[in-house]
Amino acid sequence: MITTDELQINIGPQHPSTHGVFRMLITVDGETVVNLEPVFGYLHRNHEQLAEVNTYLQNMPYTDRLDYFNSMANNHAYALAVEKLAGIEVPERAEYIRVLMVELTRILNHAGAVGFMINDMGAWQTPLAFGIREREKILDLFELVSGARMMCNYFRFGGVVRDLPDDFIPRLKKLMVAMPAYIDELERLLRENEILLARSEGIGILPREVAVSYGVTGPVLRGSGIAYDIRKAEPYSIYDRFDFDVPVGSVGDVYDRFLVRIEEMRQSRRILEQIIEQLPDASGGHINPKARQNVRPPVGDAYARIESPKGELGFYLVSDGSTKPYRYKVRAPSFINLTPLGDMCRGYKVADIVVILGSIDIVMGEVDR
Amino acid sequence: MSNDTLTHSLTFTEAPAALTVVVDPTPQIARGSAVVVERRRPKAAGWSLLQGLGVVVDHWRKSFRKLDDTTQIAGTFTTEYPEERLPLPEAYRNMPILLFDDATGHELCTSCFQCQRICPPQVIHMTQAKDPDTGKPVPAVSEFIIEYDACMSCGFCAEVCPFDAIKMDHNFELSTADHSSLTVHKTDLLRPISYYQSIAPTFWAEAEASAYKKLETNKKRRPATIGIAPQMLAQLKAAHELRDDQQEATMPTTAVASAPAPATSSAAPPARSAALAASASDLPTDKAARLAAIRARNEAKAAVQAAPATASAAPAASDGGDLPTDKAARLAAIRARNEAKKAAEQAAAAEAAPTLATPDMPPTDVQPAASEQAAPPAPTVPDASLDEKAARLAAIRARNEAKKADEQTAAAGAAPTLATPDVPPTDVPPATSEQAAPPAPAVPDAPLDEKAARLAAIRARNAAKKAAQAEGE
Amino acid sequence: MYDVVDFILNTQLGLNSPDWVVMLISHLIVVAILFAIAPVQVLFLTYYERRAIARMQDRVGPNRVGYEGLLQPIADGVKMFTKEDIVPVSADQRVHLLAPIVTAAPVMYMFAVLPWGPNMIAVDLPTGLLFFFAISSISTVGLLMAGWASNNKFALLGAMRAVAQVVSYEIPALLSLLFAVMLTGSMSLMAIVEAQSGLFISTTDVPNIPDLGLGWFVFTPVGFLAFVCFFIAALAEGERTPFDIPEADSEIVAGYMTEYSGMKFALFYLAQYILNFLLCAITATIFFGGWQGPGIAWLVSQSLSADNPAGNPVYNVLAGMLGTFYLLAKTYAFFFVMVALRGAFPRLRIDQLMNFGWKFLIPLTMINILSAALWIAITRWGTAQGFGIIEFAGEPSNLVRWLIAFAVTLVINVAAYWFLARLNIQDHVARQAALAAGGLAVSPPRSA
pLDDT digits (tens, 9 = 90+) for C146-163: 888 888 888 888 888 888
Phi, psi angles (nearest 5°) of residue C85: -90, 110
A311 closest CA partner among A363, A368, A353: A363
pLDDT value, residue B307: 46
Q: C57, B64: Cβ pair inside 8 Å?
A: no
pLDDT tier for residue C1 given thresholds of 50, 70 and 90:
low
> Considering chain C, what is the average pLDDT of its residues?
81
Residue B174 lies in a domain: yes
Residue B186 lies in a domain: yes
pLDDT value, residue B457: 63
Q: B36, A248: Cβ pair inside 8 Å?
A: yes
Single-letter amino acid, residue C137:
S
Residue C60 lies in a domain: yes
Asked if residues C84 and C142 have their Cβ atoms less than 8 Å apart, the reply is no
Asked if residues A110 and A133 have their Cβ atoms less than 8 Å apart, the reply is no
The whole-angstrom separation of Cα A249 and Cα A254 is 10
Who among A9, A196, A225 is closest to C440 (CB)?
A: A225
A277 closest CA partner among A323, A241, A321: A241
Q: Assess whether B340 and B194 both reside in one domain.
A: no
pLDDT value, residue B292: 53
Helix (H) / strand (E) containing C26: helix C19-56
Q: A250, C344: Cβ pair inside 8 Å?
A: no
Task: Give the range among A135-139, B301-305, C81-85 with minimum mean pLDDT.
Answer: B301-305
* Closest chain A residue to the Cα of C248, Cα to Cα: A122
Q: What is the mean pLDDT of the segment spanning A37-64?
A: 87
Q: Assess whether B174 and B322 both reside in one domain.
A: no
Last residue in a domain, options B198, B221, B244: B221
pLDDT tier for residue B320 given thresholds of 50, 70 and 90:
very low
Asked if residues C349 and B3 have their Cβ atoms less than 8 Å apart, the reply is yes
Residue C269 lies in a domain: yes
Own/partner pairs, C62-66, CB within 8 angstroms, 24+ separation: C63/B80
Residue A60 pLDDT exceeds 80:
yes
Q: C345, A195: Cβ pair inside 8 Å?
A: yes
Helix (H) / strand (E) containing C353: helix C350-355
Structural Rg of chain C based on CA atoms = 25
* Number of domains forming the structure of chain C: 2
Q: Assess whether C74 and C200 both reside in one domain.
A: no
pLDDT digits (tens, 9 = 90+) for C411-446: 888 888 888 888 877 776 776 666 655 544 333 333
pLDDT tier for residue A316 given thresholds of 50, 70 and 90:
very high
Residue B318 lies in a domain: yes
Q: Assess whether C11 and C50 both reside in one domain.
A: yes
pLDDT tier for residue C374 given thresholds of 50, 70 and 90:
confident
Q: In terms of pLDDT, which residue wins out, B226 or A186? A: A186
Among C55, C235, C341, the strongest candidate for a mutation testing the B interface, having the largest count of B CBs within 10 A, is C55
The whole-angstrom separation of Cα B92 and Cα B165 is 17
pLDDT digits (tens, 9 = 90+) for C354-363: 888 888 889 8
Residue C344 lies in a domain: yes
Asked if residues B123 and B151 have their Cβ atoms less than 8 Å apart, the reply is yes
pLDDT value, residue C354: 85
Chain C, 62-81: which have a CB under 8 Å from a chain B CB?
63
Q: Assess whether C154 and C271 both reside in one domain.
A: yes
The whole-angstrom separation of Cα C232 and Cα A195 is 13
Q: What is the mean pLDDT of the segment spanning A46-62?
A: 88
| Cβ neighbours of residue C419 closer than 8 Å, sequence gap 6 or more | none
* Number of domains forming the structure of chain B: 2
Residue B242 lies in a domain: no
The whole-angstrom separation of Cα A290 and Cα A272 is 28
pLDDT digits (tens, 9 = 90+) for A217-259: 989 988 888 888 888 888 888 888 888 888 888 888 888 899 9
Residue B378 lies in a domain: yes
Q: Assess whether B173 and B305 both reside in one domain.
A: no
Strands B96-100 vs B190-192: parallel, antiparallel or unpaired: parallel
CB atoms within 10 A of CB A221: 30
Q: Assess whether C214 and C104 both reside in one domain.
A: yes
Give ∠ CA B290-B291-B293 in degrees, rounded to 5.
Answer: 65
B67 closest CA partner among A136, C63, C72, C51: A136
Q: Does B28 touch chain A (CB under 8 A)?
A: no
| Cβ neighbours of residue C57 closer than 8 Å, sequence gap 6 or more | A125, A126, A129, A130, B59, C343
Strands A325-331 vs A311-319: parallel, antiparallel or unpaired: antiparallel
* Closest chain C residue to the Cα of B16, Cα to Cα: C443
CB atoms within 10 A of CB C306: 8
Q: Assess whether B336 and B468 both reside in one domain.
A: yes
The whole-angstrom separation of Cα B379 and Cα B357 is 11
The whole-angstrom separation of Cα C441 and Cα A367 is 30
Q: B21, C356: Cβ pair inside 8 Å?
A: no
Asked if residues B74 and C58 have their Cβ atoms less than 8 Å apart, the reply is yes
Q: Does A9 touch chain C (CB under 8 A)?
A: yes
Q: B34, A190: Cβ pair inside 8 Å?
A: no
Last residue in a domain, options B174, B205, B221: B221
Instruction: Give residue C54's domain range.
Output: 1-82
Q: Assess whether B204 and B305 both reside in one domain.
A: no
Residue B59 lies in a domain: no
* Closest chain B residue to the Cα of C58, Cα to Cα: B76
Share of residues in chain B with pLDDT > 70 (%) = 44
Q: Assess whether C78 and C91 both reside in one domain.
A: no
Q: Assess whether C190 and C209 both reside in one domain.
A: yes
Residue C377 pLDDT exceeds 50:
yes
Q: C352, B3: Cβ pair inside 8 Å?
A: yes
Structural Rg of chain B based on CA atoms = 34
Phi, psi angles (nearest 5°) of residue B142: -90, -35
Q: In terms of pLDDT, which residue wins out, B318 or A23? A: A23
Asked if residues A208 and C441 have their Cβ atoms less than 8 Å apart, the reply is no
* SS3 at position C15: coil
> Considering chain B, what is the average pLDDT of its residues?
64
Residue C298 pLDDT exceeds 60:
yes
Phi, psi angles (nearest 5°) of residue C265: -60, -40
Share of residues in chain C with pLDDT > 90 (%) = 1
Q: Does B1 touch chain C (CB under 8 A)?
A: yes
pLDDT digits (tens, 9 = 90+) for B131-187: 888 888 888 888 889 998 889 888 888 888 888 888 888 888 888 888 888 888 888
Q: Assess whether C128 and C190 both reside in one domain.
A: yes
Q: Does B389 touch chain A (CB under 8 A)?
A: no
Q: Does C360 touch chain B (CB under 8 A)?
A: yes
Residue B266 pLDDT exceeds 70:
no
Q: B154, A178: Cβ pair inside 8 Å?
A: no
- List the subunits that have 3+ CB pairs under 8 angstroms with A: B, C
pLDDT value, residue B216: 82
pLDDT digits (tens, 9 = 90+) for B384-412: 444 555 556 655 665 666 566 555 545 44
Residue B376 lies in a domain: yes
Residue B261 pLDDT exceeds 50:
no
Q: Assess whether B211 and B304 both reside in one domain.
A: no
DSSP B144-183: EEEETTT-----HHHHH-TTS-EEE--------S-GGGGE
pLDDT value, residue C436: 59
* Closest chain A residue to the Cα of C444, Cα to Cα: A209
Q: C344, B55: Cβ pair inside 8 Å?
A: yes
End-to-end CA distance of chain A: 50
Q: Assess whether B321 and B172 both reside in one domain.
A: no
Q: C250, A354: Cβ pair inside 8 Å?
A: yes
Share of residues in chain C with pLDDT > 70 (%) = 90
* SS3 at position C208: coil
* Closest chain C residue to the Cα of B40, Cα to Cα: C432
Residue B298 pLDDT exceeds 80:
no
C340 closest CA partner among B50, A259, A141: B50
Burial group, residue C394, by CB count within 10 angstroms (0-12, 13-18, 19+): exposed
CA distances from B34 to A263, A267, A319 (A): 11, 12, 38
Who among C345, C432, C439 is closest to A252 (CB)?
A: C439
- Residues from chain B contacting residue C232 (CB–CB below 8 Å): none
Asked if residues B391 and B298 have their Cβ atoms less than 8 Å apart, the reply is no
The whole-angstrom separation of Cα B247 and Cα C63 is 63
Q: Does B22 touch chain C (CB under 8 A)?
A: yes
The whole-angstrom separation of Cα C41 and Cα C49 is 12
The whole-angstrom separation of Cα B73 and Cα A176 is 11
Single-letter amino acid, residue C327:
L
Q: What is the mean pLDDT of the segment spanning B254-270?
A: 38
What length does chain C have?
448
Instruction: Give residue B367's domain range.
Output: 293-472
Residue A13, preceding peptide bond in cis (omega within 30° of 0):
yes
Who among B1, B39, B53 is closest to C356 (CB)?
A: B1
Q: A226, B153: Cβ pair inside 8 Å?
A: no
Q: Assess whether C231 and C109 both reside in one domain.
A: yes
pLDDT value, residue B376: 38
- Residues from chain B contacting residue C227 (CB–CB below 8 Å): none
Residue C156 lies in a domain: yes
SS (H, E, C) chain A: CCCCCCEEEEECCCCCCCCCCCEEEEEEECCEEEEEEEECCCCCCCHHHHHHHCCCHHHHHHHHCCCCCCHHHHHHHHHHHHHHHHCCCCCHHHHHHHHHHHHHHHHHHHHHHHHHHHHHCCCCCHHHHHHHHHHHHHHHHHHHHHCCCCCCCCEECCEECCCCCCCHHHHHHHHHHHHHHHHHHHHHHHCCCHHHHHHHCCCCCCCHHHHHHHCCCCHHHHHCCCCCCHHHHCCCCCHHHCCCCEEECCCCCHHHHHHHHHHHHHHHHHHHHHHHHHCCCCCCCCCCCHHHHCCCCCCEEEEEEEEECCEEEEEEEEECCCCCEEEEEEECHHHHHHCCHHHHHCCCEHHHHHHHHHHHCCCHHHHHC
ipTM value > 0.90: no
The whole-angstrom separation of Cα A21 and Cα C54 is 28
> Considering chain A, what is the average pLDDT of its residues?
85
Q: Does B175 touch chain C (CB under 8 A)?
A: no
Asked if residues C237 and C166 have their Cβ atoms less than 8 Å apart, the reply is yes
Residues facing B35 on adjacent strands = A247
Residue C53 pLDDT exceeds 70:
yes
Q: A130, B73: Cβ pair inside 8 Å?
A: yes
Residue B97 pLDDT exceeds 70:
yes
Residue C94 lies in a domain: yes
* SS3 at position B142: strand
Residue B80 pLDDT exceeds 80:
yes
Among C440, C443, C446, C447, the strongest candidate for a mutation testing the A interface, having the largest count of A CBs within 10 A, is C440
Among B28, B56, B79, the strongest candidate for a mutation testing the C interface, having the largest count of C CBs within 10 A, is B56
Asked if residues B70 and A178 have their Cβ atoms less than 8 Å apart, the reply is yes
Residue B383 lies in a domain: yes
Q: Assess whether C132 and C201 both reside in one domain.
A: yes
- List the subunits that have 3+ CB pairs under 8 angstroms with C: A, B
Task: Give the range among B93-97, B314-318, C30-34 with minimum mean pLDDT.
Answer: B314-318
Structural Rg of chain A based on CA atoms = 21
- List the subunits that have 3+ CB pairs under 8 angstroms with B: A, C
Q: B2, C60: Cβ pair inside 8 Å?
A: no
B163 closest CA partner among B120, B124, B219: B219
Q: Does A253 touch chain C (CB under 8 A)?
A: yes
Q: Assess whether C11 and C100 both reside in one domain.
A: no
pLDDT value, residue C5: 72
Q: What is the DSSP letter of B98?
A: E
pLDDT tier for residue A315 given thresholds of 50, 70 and 90:
very high
Last residue in a domain, options C53, C82, C111: C82
Last residue in a domain, options B221, B236, B270: B221
Last residue in a domain, options C82, C98, C118: C82
> Which of A84-88, A288-292, B249-253 is most confident?
A84-88
pLDDT digits (tens, 9 = 90+) for B433-448: 333 333 333 333 444 5
Strand order in the sheet with A311-319: A300-308, A311-319, A325-331
Residues facing B190 on adjacent strands = B98
| Cβ neighbours of residue C15 closer than 8 Å, sequence gap 6 or more | C9
Q: Assess whether C119 and C53 both reside in one domain.
A: no
Q: Assess whether C344 and C257 both reside in one domain.
A: yes
Q: What is the DSSP letter of B359?
A: T
Asked if residues C236 and C348 have their Cβ atoms less than 8 Å apart, the reply is no
Q: Assess whether B465 and B346 both reside in one domain.
A: yes
Q: Assess whether B297 and B211 both reside in one domain.
A: no
pLDDT value, residue C446: 32
Last residue in a domain, options C351, C367, C383: C351
Task: Give the range among B92-101, B340-349, C370-379 with minimum mean pLDDT.
Answer: B340-349
CATH number of the domain that B162 lies in? 3.30.70.3270
pLDDT tier for residue C74 given thresholds of 50, 70 and 90:
confident
